[in-house]
Structure 1
Amino acid sequence: MKKIDNYVTKIVSGLPMEQVAKEEFREELTAHLTEHINELLIKGYSEDEAISYAIKSFGDHQKLNHEMKKSIFPFYKIVRYVWCTFLVTTFIWTLAYYWNEFYHRQMGDFFQEGGMLVFLMIAVILGICEVAYEAASKEYTTKWITNPWFFFLIPSLFITGLLSISFFLHPENYVDGLWLDLFVLPIGTIAHLFARGIFTLMFVNRKNKIKVNIRG
């Protein structure tokens, strides 16, 4: 039942749970729906009617998804966003500091004064990326599209590949460590993905099991 599978996928999409727990919850939801559909089939409903009634009785998938996220971890996205912004900024800033110390000691004042600008740039970029990811997760159910590593990393590598063309055309512009600028995007993306993973491990209750009572 593809319609049921898509419906359940949208409900569990983005829930702040360990993957194993999410799959168990997904199976539990599917079992409840299937049971309700079978009851309706026995009563004489057609398969399409039974599926439609069962889904309607469960409720809107977006509302269910939102309520579950709130019950598991209130303000989950906001806290994760602030956490990732802080860690990525710290990582990029540390990398830039040592790059500056090694190649351009005379630019120390510039990096100190530009700290807030770096933070704001990363905050804006991460915000846009997270909003785009949430929109894609709601729109598509294909796992490889909604996989964070694919969604965030592949575009960053593609953009870096395009920018790298200038390195081969004008290598003189990338002396004294300036070549590192070409890889800031994928480096920051990997830092972001690790920050997301660390956040999940540290703050999401790994043992949390959702028990949902659904009335048919």
Structure 2
Amino acid sequence: MSADPTDDGADAPLTLQGMSGGRRRKRGPDVTVLVISVLGVLGAGAGYMALKKGAHALPAGAVAKGVPSISQAERCLRNGNIPCAEASYIAYLKQYPEDARANAMLAIVLTGDGRHKEALPYYRKADALGIDTYDFYANQARSLEATGDVDGAIKANYRALDIVPSLVDVRGSLADLLVRKGRADEAINLLESFDRSLEDQGHTPYFTAKAARIRAGRGGAAAQQAAADAAVTAA
């Protein structure tokens, strides 16, 4: 199995045999892959596209109209009605606030909808209730980054990789965040250690070009953001 080392922005995870995560999970509910659960509900049609497009607000009074039902929320997702799904999850959690899976599902749906600030309390709650899956942390990192918490996003991405090290999209995003924080050496090690593990298994290195750009001080948008951040701090 090989991958184009210049394609460091791949959307799909690179899954390699023998590279599954080994960290012990927290005690909690038996929650498997939450993103797969969400996409399984959405299907391949309008629901998926609505979640990907996102970035809209709940209409006035939507929360009050929500049906406190997980099955209703899933039906709304299948139909591409994201506000309905969000409202139903919220209504359900008003009655069952300790449901770890519902908190996690709502958080991920809100992230996909671009409502990052609103998603964060549900991530915190689900985390406290024992949710510990790679997709949960990867999506949490997206919302943390979007709301300006780069350090928190770095930690969440590391937690995702601790569970499934073979996620190249998460690893690449994490490297960009590290560069933004002035931690280029750490970013290079993150990428090159993964590439060495690929080579040890007879695969083509994936992050050769990206690591070289960071080493040369040409980290693209991430490096420009780091320079901008440094300028603001200096001012």
Q: Higher helix proportion, which one? A: 1
TM-score (structure 1 length as normaliser)? 0.23
Higher relative contact order (CA 8 A, sep 6+): 1
TM-score (structure 2 length as normaliser)? 0.22
